[in-house]
Amino acid sequence: MAVDKKELRDVYITFLEEDIIREIAKIKGIDNRAAMEIYYCSKLCQQIACGEYGIEYMDYKYLANDLIENEPELFTAQVS
């Protein structure tokens, strides 16, 4: 049985995004829905989707903290 590399990557990215969203919610003390909206509006989300710089292979905790640090404007508009 052959492994479809694209399908495998898509599953990996889905789990990575879920972990990032949960970590954002935990760090910022917001619910998962708010964290999900923030994540999907972020540059990080676009970078992961495009596979820029191999960023999708970095640790989800690092990526969540990076988003919080480098995209603070996403959190100022967020109402919890």
pLDDT at 80: 46
CA-to-CA distance for 80 and 73, rounded, in angstroms? 15
pLDDT at 1: 66
Q: Give this prediction's pTM.
A: 0.89
pLDDT at 52: 85
pLDDT, tens digit (0-9, with 9 covering 90-100), for 39-50: 999 999 999 999
pLDDT, tens digit (0-9, with 9 covering 90-100), for 2-56: 778 889 999 999 999 999 999 999 999 999 999 999 999 999 999 999 988 899 9
- Residue that has been written with the tokens 């954002």 in this structure: 24
Q: Comparing C-alpha atoms, which of 13, 22, 10, 20 is closest to residue 57?
A: 13
